[in-house]
């Protein structure tokens, strides 16, 4: 994908993400409004079931010949608002999932756009680490030569820091080298040239 196409695609994803986030916020405002109306209706509505004493009185009245009256159910408005609230909550959950998908798509596009720069820096980083290990090996060879001519036990100015060692065992530099070879950023030959040239 060309840079222009990637840039246009990123703009489309960002616009879709902004629209999806706005829709979630607007829907949540509607849900809060419905919830507030529902609370007010439930406070003002008569109880769904009569209390035991009311029921007992009513049963006695029926036995005395009064008509059997079914206790009133919750008003339809409450049932409707509850259903609307459930739908709004489901829409918000779906909208949030869509926002997550778009945010991931956006991050993927941004990462892909920066991949050439990432690869260049990773290449430079691994080559410099490889070169530093080669210098460290030369440094240790010099130390061995000095010891062989009777000047052993002397400290070099940077002995206090390991600085990536000499690459004589499995270490993080070798792991990084393997990774950039696997990712096609460097070849083993390029790494070997730096390791030997120093």
- List, for residues 181-192, the tens digit of each pLDDT value: 999 999 999 988
- The answer on pLDDT for 70 being more than 70 is no
| Over residues 100-117, mean pLDDT | 95
Do 98 and 132 lie in one domain? The reply is no
Among 69, 92, 113, residue at a domain's last position: 113
Domain that holds residue 168: 116-197
CB atoms within 10 A of CB 130: 26
- Report the C-alpha gap between 57 and 166 in whole angstroms: 95
- What is the pLDDT confidence band of residue 26, given thresholds at 50, 70 and 90? very high
CA distance 52 to 109: 65
- Same domain as 170, residue 148: yes
Read off the pLDDT band of 1 (50, 70, 90): low
């Amino acid at each position: 994908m060309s840079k222009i196409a990637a840039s246009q695609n990123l703009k489309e994803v960002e616009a879709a993400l902004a629209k999806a986030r706005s829709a979630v916020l607007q829907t949540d405002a509607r849900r809060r409004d419905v919830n507030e109306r529902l609370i007010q209706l439930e406070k003002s509505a008569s109880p769904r079931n009569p209390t035991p004493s009311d029921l007992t009185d009513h049963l006695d009245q029926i036995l005395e010949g009064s008509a059997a009256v079914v206790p009133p159910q919750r008003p339809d408005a409450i049932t409707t608002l509850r259903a609307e609230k459930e739908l709004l909550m489901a829409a918000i959950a779906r909208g949030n999932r869509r926002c997550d998908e778009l945010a991931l798509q956006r991050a993927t596009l941004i990462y892909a756009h920066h991949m050439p720069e990432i690869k260049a820096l990773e290449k430079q980083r691994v080559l410099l680490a490889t070169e530093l290990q080669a210098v460290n090996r030369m440094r240790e060879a010099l130390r061995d030569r000095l010891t062989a001519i009777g000047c052993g036990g002397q400290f070099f100015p940077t002995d206090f820091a390991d600085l990536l060692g000499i690459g004589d065992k499995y270490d993080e530099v070798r792991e990084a080298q393997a990774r950039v070879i696997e990712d096609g950023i460097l070849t083993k030959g390029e790494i070997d040239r730096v390791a030997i040239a120093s």
